[in-house]
A and B are shown apart, each in its own frame.
Chain A
Amino acid sequence: MINNQNMWNHLPGEDSIKRVVLPNGIIVLTKSDFNSPSVVISGYLNSGSIHDQQEKLGLSLFTSYALMRGSVFHRYRRIYNDLETAGATLGFSSSIQSTSFGGKSLVEDLPLLLKTLSEAIRWPIFPPIQLKILLSQIITGLQIREQDTSERASLKFDEVLFPDHPYGRSEEGSIETLKRIRRSDLIKFHQQFYGPSGMVITIVGAIEHQKAVDLVYHALGDWENPVWVSPPKIPEVTNRKFSYREHIPISGKFQTDIIMGSYGPRRTSKEFLIASLGNNILGQFGMMGRIGEAVREKSGLAYYASTALNAWQSAGTWEITAGVNPINIEKTIEIIRNEISRFVSESVSNQELDDSKSNLIGLIPLSIESNAGVANAIIRMERYKLGLNYLREYPGIISGISKEQILQVSQKYLDPGNLVIISAGT
């Protein structure tokens, strides 16, 4: 066993994470770990739903899902046969500003994984029959989403907070917008918005740094896209305080989901970690913090009632969610409102502050238990320019936050009289 200081030194940092930029702009980050004969790849391209026209919303995500449905070199079935025979996996997805990918395999199959990645992002052919199958899968997913109380409430919450902004739109689009998308749209989207510039790939697992970099170079080092269009700058968001209430009726439901909250700090803001610590006290610590204590433990109203910060590049949200019986909706909202009121009117206690600091710091080693956990941490450091020593510096940053700072940041973003409140259910 080791002491606390050794524990932080054990975390991935500048000496164990290697970063290389290939001549075509691809950033490669690696971290070796030989405890299991497996390897994880994770990364992103600078392309996302920010490019989608409103009438064809969902195009970016559809394109990302379609990348592995056939390439110039291999058909869909061959691609998946090779991967699944190796017990490997690779998948793509797209969010507002990025198209991400993730995969894993035994280390002996890493060349296969990288070859498949390269073919998918460079030479997809979007076979018409495969697009039809994929479209029907996406549409069924949207139909299931229509019946999901939590999803419906969350979508409306973002829509109300971010009108006419990419953050307020669903990356999945809708059945109507998806039906307008043609194969030629996917081809054009891929040609214009997929390129190596600023692409990030992280490899974590049982492989040495140089070997990993050589494999990435072999697979992607000669990729160029002279017609690549860089993504537009995401519009700024003003932190407005306003009140909004809506109930979305969905028949046949036994439980109603509530989401309430407002804007939160952006990920790159200094306020983010202060708000994170406050959020831990409000609705995370132990059995879901103060909110969990008030709604679940004292009132027995919900199985889950907690808070979350979602932070992106130009804004974020600070939200409280709970799942309750329909007869308890208003009672739960009132209890949560009272807790927010207490949270923004008086400082947290010294004990709460110490407990939550200890909690956030102590969770770090657990968050990097697996190769995927380490890869995610490295991606976050790169995406938000946090520095490769961020995990080691994190305990010091958290320790330095005061309760006055928490009160100040909480008051800036949370106002119990001005909340967006959405409920969805019967």
Chain B
Amino acid sequence: MDNPTKIRLENGLSVLLKEIHSAPIISFWTWYRVGSRYEKPGFTGISHWVEHMQFKGTEKYPSTVLDRLIAREGGVWNAFTHVDWTTYFETMPANKIDLAIDLEADRMVNSLFSPADVESERTVIITEKEGKDNEPFLRLNNAVNEAAFISHPYRNEVIGSLEDLQRIQRDDLYHHYRKYYQPANAIISIAGDFNTSEMIEKIQNKFISISSEFLPDPEVQPEHEIKEKKEILLSGPGDTIFIQIAYRSPSASDPDFFGFTILDSLLSGPASLNMFGGGGTSNKTSRLYKKLVDKRFAVSLAGGLQATLDPHLYDLSITLHQGQDPEIVIKTIDREIERLTEKRILKSEIQRAVKQARAMFAYGLENITNQAFWLGYSESFANYDWYSNYLDRLNEIKPQDVQRVAEKYLHPEKRVIGIYHPDFSESKPS
């Protein structure tokens, strides 16, 4: 894989650039090391709300002008707030990229946060939350997440609690913005049809005058294990039982992460790395699918592993076959994990998982937006080598590594089990 160019400006801004000349477009991403992980109690959701406010304009680019300029040049833009980061991207025709560079430099420091816009976005975000709460499975996922951490901010919803969304004020938002939106806390990742030295000059011209201040460490203590088994029961309308089982997962920079990736592939099928395009493959021959879906205990099964700064969660999400007992499904999963740790794993199974990962990787290379995403994303929790060496690291994994990781993390007494049942009348954590 071609190595990207990586530089750091005097003000601390990291920039990663990768030339790809397959299509006349450029994807430009600006990342900030702020997300729900950095939020204090009482201010959950503030990072996501700041992200919304970044679309409400500056003096130079009022909100209506901002939208209009990007859209009329045939660009697409959006933003995402996650647990560890907030990111903004523009994918534009190559000859229009100056606009993206200028507006990102401008809104790194000059966003207005007018009180009227803050109030308008308050209701928009509450509506966004209500839309999420409409989904039984998302409600279950939130409850499981909360139970899986004692005090780490990963326990909170990225969108925030309703109480905090009603309480946060304009100055809280503006303070959060000024604290975290500065060059030393940002990464720019850019891929597409450009000349690297010309692009560096453009970025320097726009960003070098923005100063950085010292960033306090958020002092977040990682939670390396779930101390005790917990069970969450949720109820609501519908006819379908959902189960989510969450185990602690290693951070992305932990060497165990790669063994865990193979473990996930064996248990629940290969996961796609690609946020934009690419897609994955089906998981019908994964161990758990065969035991749960083919045996008609469940109608679907999916595993979820995320690359995060601190240890997060590996979750198994199961939609039950009608009339099946959640306890049988959970026991089946336990037996299958036990089998994985006790019986020899064939080397060919590992090789298969690596081949699957290679295919997912290739699909991601089709798409310039996805490549720019990975430049910045990998830098946000490790560095680009993490991504470029990903397949090599998977290739090094041996059957005993997978078994060791399974034994270490997938312990039946150190997990949260969430069950959404249509028949109960109210939720009750036990």
Binding site for B on A (CB under 8 A): 1-4, 6-7, 10, 33, 35-38, 76-77, 80-81, 83-89, 91, 104-106, 109, 132-133, 136-137, 139-141, 143-144, 146-147, 149, 250-255, 285-287, 293, 296-304, 323-325, 354-356, 358-366, 368-373, 425
B428 at the interface (CB under 8 A from A): no
**Assuming the A-B contacts A303-B131, A365-B74, are A104 and B363 also in contact, with contact meaning beta carbons closer than 8 angstroms in the complex?**
yes
Instruction: Select from chain B the residue with minimum beta-carbon distance to A354.
Output: B72
Residues of chain A contacted by B124 (CB below 8 angstroms): 296, 300, 302-303
Question: In the assembly, what is the distance between CA of A356 and CA of B68, in Å?
Answer: 9
Residues of chain B contacted by A323 (CB below 8 angstroms): 127, 130-131
0/1 string, B381-415, CB within 8 A of A gives 1: 00000000000000000000000000000000000
* CB of B99 to closest CB in A, whole Å: 12
Instruction: Select from chain B the residue with minimum beta-carbon distance to A328.
Output: B127
Asked if B127 contacts A325 (CB within 8 A), the reply is: yes
Asked if A87 contacts B240 (CB within 8 A), the reply is: no
Asked if A1 contacts B194 (CB within 8 A), the reply is: yes
Question: In the assembly, what is the distance between CA of A305 and CA of B74, in Å?
Answer: 21
Asked if A369 contacts B363 (CB within 8 A), the reply is: no
Question: In the assembly, what is the distance between CA of A265 and CA of B358, in Å?
Answer: 44
What are 26 of the A-B contact pairs (CB < 8 Å)? Answer: A2-B193, A35-B365, A36-B363, A36-B365, A81-B285, A87-B357, A87-B360, A104-B279, A105-B359, A132-B296, A137-B293, A137-B299, A140-B300, A144-B238, A255-B134, A286-B67, A300-B121, A323-B130, A325-B130, A366-B25, A366-B91, A369-B25, A372-B277, A372-B279, A372-B366, A425-B134
Asked if A1 contacts B363 (CB within 8 A), the reply is: no
Asked if A255 contacts B71 (CB within 8 A), the reply is: no
Asked if B362 contacts A358 (CB within 8 A), the reply is: no
Question: In the assembly, what is the distance between CA of A286 and CA of B74, in Å?
Answer: 10
**Assuming the A-B contacts A286-B70, A287-B67, A369-B23, are A2 and B95 also in contact, with contact meaning beta carbons closer than 8 angstroms in the complex?**
yes
* CB of A78 to closest CB in B, whole Å: 9
Residues of chain A contacted by B130 (CB below 8 angstroms): 254-255, 323, 325
Residues of chain B contacted by A355 (CB below 8 angstroms): 68, 71-72
0/1 string, B257-292, CB within 8 A of A gives 1: 000000000000110000001111111111000100
Asked if B366 contacts A324 (CB within 8 A), the reply is: no
Asked if B237 contacts A252 (CB within 8 A), the reply is: yes
Asked if A253 contacts B296 (CB within 8 A), the reply is: no
Question: In the assembly, what is the distance between CA of A253 and CA of B281, in Å?
Answer: 33
Asked if B240 contacts A144 (CB within 8 A), the reply is: yes
Instruction: Select from chain B the residue with minimum beta-carbon distance to A206.
Output: B362
Residues of chain A contacted by B300 (CB below 8 angstroms): 137, 140
Given contacts A77-B290, A84-B286, A358-B74, list 14 more A-B pairs with CB under 8 A.
Answer: A7-B93, A38-B366, A77-B285, A77-B294, A80-B284, A84-B285, A85-B285, A86-B359, A87-B281, A106-B362, A254-B129, A285-B68, A325-B126, A356-B72
Residues of chain B contacted by A301 (CB below 8 angstroms): 123, 127
Asked if B74 contacts A146 (CB within 8 A), the reply is: no
Within 8 A of A (CB), among B180-208: 193-195
Residues of chain B contacted by A140 (CB below 8 angstroms): 240, 299-300, 319, 321-322
Of the residues B72, B123, B360, contact of A362 by C-beta under 8 Å:
B72
Residues of chain A contacted by B299 (CB below 8 angstroms): 136-137, 140-141
Binding site for A on B (CB under 8 A): 20, 22-25, 55, 63-64, 67-68, 70-76, 91, 93-96, 119-131, 133-134, 136, 193-195, 236-240, 269-270, 277-286, 290, 293-294, 296, 299-300, 319, 321-322, 352, 355-360, 362-363, 365-369
Of the residues A146, A254, A362, A369, contact of B134 by C-beta under 8 Å:
A254
Residues of chain A contacted by B93 (CB below 8 angstroms): 7, 362, 365
> Closest 5 CB pairs between A and B?
A362-B74, A87-B359, A286-B67, A303-B128, A254-B130
Question: In the assembly, what is the distance between CA of A36 and CA of B280, in Å?
Answer: 16
Instruction: Select from chain B the residue with minimum beta-carbon distance to A138.
Output: B299
Which DSSP category, helix, strand, loop or mixed, fits chain A's interface? helix
Asked if A106 contacts B127 (CB within 8 A), the reply is: no
**Assuming the A-B contacts A10-B23, A80-B284, are A88 and B131 also in contact, with contact meaning beta carbons closer than 8 angstroms in the complex?**
no
Asked if A139 contacts B73 (CB within 8 A), the reply is: no
Question: In the assembly, what is the distance between CA of A360 and CA of B290, in Å?
Answer: 46
Residues of chain A contacted by B194 (CB below 8 angstroms): 1
Asked if B25 contacts A250 (CB within 8 A), the reply is: no
Residues of chain B contacted by A36 (CB below 8 angstroms): 362-363, 365-366
Instruction: Select from chain A the residue with minimum beta-carbon distance to B296.
Output: A133
* CB of A77 to closest CB in B, whole Å: 7
* CB of B92 to closest CB in A, whole Å: 8
Residues of chain B contacted by A303 (CB below 8 angstroms): 124-125, 127-128, 131
Residues of chain A contacted by B362 (CB below 8 angstroms): 36-38, 106
Instruction: Select from chain B the residue with minimum beta-carbon distance to A140.
Output: B299
Asked if B25 contacts A3 (CB within 8 A), the reply is: no
Asked if B282 contacts A80 (CB within 8 A), the reply is: yes
* CB of A42 to closest CB in B, whole Å: 13
Asked if A1 contacts B95 (CB within 8 A), the reply is: yes
Of the residues B75, B76, B239, B282, contact of A83 by C-beta under 8 Å:
B282
Question: In the assembly, what is the distance between CA of A143 and CA of B24, in Å?
Answer: 45
Question: In the assembly, what is the distance between CA of A38 and CA of B136, in Å?
Answer: 37
Question: In the assembly, what is the distance between CA of A37 and CA of B365, in Å?
Answer: 9
Residues of chain A contacted by B95 (CB below 8 angstroms): 1-4, 7
Of the residues B24, B68, B121, contact of A286 by C-beta under 8 Å:
B68
Residues of chain B contacted by A147 (CB below 8 angstroms): 136, 237-238
Residues of chain A contacted by B94 (CB below 8 angstroms): 1-2
Asked if B71 contacts A369 (CB within 8 A), the reply is: no
Question: In the assembly, what is the distance between CA of A7 and CA of B96, in Å?
Answer: 12
Residues of chain A contacted by B120 (CB below 8 angstroms): 297-300
Question: In the assembly, what is the distance between CA of A202 and CA of B283, in Å?
Answer: 25
Of the residues A77, A361, A370, contact of B366 by C-beta under 8 Å:
A370
Of the residues B25, B73, B282, contact of A84 by C-beta under 8 Å:
B282
Asked if B76 contacts A363 (CB within 8 A), the reply is: yes
Residues of chain A contacted by B369 (CB below 8 angstroms): 369
**Assuming the A-B contacts A146-B239, A254-B134, A303-B131, are A38 and B363 also in contact, with contact meaning beta carbons closer than 8 angstroms in the complex?**
yes
Asked if A366 contacts B74 (CB within 8 A), the reply is: yes
**Assuming the A-B contacts A147-B238, A369-B366, are A10 and B281 also in contact, with contact meaning beta carbons closer than 8 angstroms in the complex?**
no
Residues of chain B contacted by A356 (CB below 8 angstroms): 72
Question: In the assembly, what is the distance between CA of A136 and CA of B300, in Å?
Answer: 10
Residue among A4, A251, A365, A369 with the highest chain B CB neighbour number at 10 A: A369
Asked if A365 contacts B23 (CB within 8 A), the reply is: yes
Residues of chain B contacted by A302 (CB below 8 angstroms): 124, 127
Residues of chain A contacted by B355 (CB below 8 angstroms): 85-87
Question: In the assembly, what is the distance between CA of A86 and CA of B353, in Å?
Answer: 9
Question: In the assembly, what is the distance between CA of A298 and CA of B368, in Å?
Answer: 35
Residue among B278, B366, B369 with the highest chain A CB neighbour number at 10 A: B366
Instruction: Select from chain B the residue with minimum beta-carbon distance to A4.
Output: B95
Question: In the assembly, what is the distance between CA of A299 and CA of B296, in Å?
Answer: 48
Asked if B368 contacts A369 (CB within 8 A), the reply is: yes
